[in-house]
Amino acid sequence: MTRVTEKLQKGDRPLLSLEITPPDRGQSIDELFHNIDSLMPMSPDFINVTYHQAYEDYEEKNGSIIRRPRRKKPGTVGICAAIKNRFAVEPVAHLICGGFDRWETEDALIDLHYLGIRNILALRGDPPPGQSLFRPKKDGYAFAADLVAQIRDMNRGVYVDALDDPVPTSFSIGVAGYPEKHVEAANGEVDMRHLKEKVDQGADYVVTQMFFSARLYKDYVARAREAGITVPIIPGIKPVTTLKQLERIPRTFFVSLPDVLVRSISEAPTAKDAFEKGTDFVADLAGELLEAGAPGLHLFTMGKGRATKAALTKIFGSHR
């Protein structure tokens, strides 16, 4: 059971982390596993599995309004266990504040620990679909720093309710960072203070939101070090290879795309040419990041393996 912190401390080669998202409710897991299979020659060190907050529907039945919680993408814990068993790769389970109180959070962490999963990415999470503001559950957390503190306490053998001689957990704790600042942060300074709070509460490392400029990463790391943040900061990148992604990614993830990337894809004569241009761009970006001292790479695959495999082949060759 390798933890992210152990891999980073070893430092024998750049860490490679992939991020996938569970299929929609009612869909097969086979395509996701097929895509992971195609990436295994790249020897990923960790596979992150995202978690998605439930949303609420209201419907009328027999004259009464009934609240029905619904989750579009269930299966994070099951997929983590399947990845560990099927691919012999360590999963990183995403755990969010939204939809959990502290006791439910503790239960989820106990289940993950029983399964031998030792890596957690602790996130506040987005508001559920249809809501613009994040609202924590009663007795839950409004900030990721509080979630980090609960995981840290469990690592020390401190549970929500006092227990006789409890066994400590042994989680490696990652958190998210935002080179272009979180969309809700007033400015970069406020955003950096929030990151410092998460690290001070016990985060072991940072994975950034996707970005598309090596300068952004270098500046972000420099500002983090000035703020007293010393933990490793792993850059998050994503291959952008289609016109549709040019429109969707800035709107969905609140990040900017450099003009050179936008032009190369939008002016490409064919979809194949656009794919090649986008793949070349992210491979060049990855090379710059590793040369700048990044401890590894985190690729947002969204469960689609083709673009990720093409980019990794350009970065590392056919095998890593």
What CA–CA distances, in Å, run from 311 to 15, 66, 111, 176?
16, 48, 35, 23
Confidence of residue 62 (pLDDT cuts 50, 70, 90): low
Is the model more confident about 57 or about 84?
84
Percentage of residues of the chain with pLDDT beyond 70 = 93
Q: Which has the minimum average pLDDT: 20-29, 68-77, 258-267?
A: 68-77
Tens of pLDDT, residues 239-268: 999 999 999 999 999 999 999 999 999 999
**Interatomic CA distance for residues 172 and 120, integer angstroms:** 6
**pLDDT over threshold 80, residue 6:** yes
Mean pLDDT of 148-172: 97
CA angle 100, 102, 105 (to 5 degrees): 60
pLDDT band per the 50, 70, 90 thresholds, residue 64: low
**Segment 177-190, tens digit of pLDDT:** 999 999 999 999 99
In the chain the domains, ranked by start, together with CATH numbers, are 4-315 (3.20.20.220)
Question: What's the CA gap between 12 and 29, in Å, rounded?
Answer: 33
Annotate 167-226 with DSSP letters as a single string: PP---EEEEEE-TT--TTSSSHHHHHHHHHHHHHHT--EEEEEE-S-HHHHHHHHHHHHH
Per-residue pLDDT, 53: 81
Decide: residue 61, CB within 10 A, 0-12 exposed, 13-18 middle, 19+ buried.
Answer: exposed
Task: Please name the residue that has the structure tokens 């996130």.
Answer: 123
What is the chain's mean pLDDT, rounded? 93
Asked if the model's pLDDT at residue 66 lies above 90, the reply is no
Give the helix ranges, DSSP H, for 73-185.
76-87, 102-114, 144-155
Interatomic CA distance for residues 248 and 179, integer angstroms: 19
Strand pairing class (119-123; 90-96)? parallel
Q: What is the pLDDT of residue 319?
A: 67
- Minimum mean pLDDT range among 13-17, 69-73, 84-88, 179-183: 69-73
Average pLDDT for residues 87-114, to the nearest whole number? 96
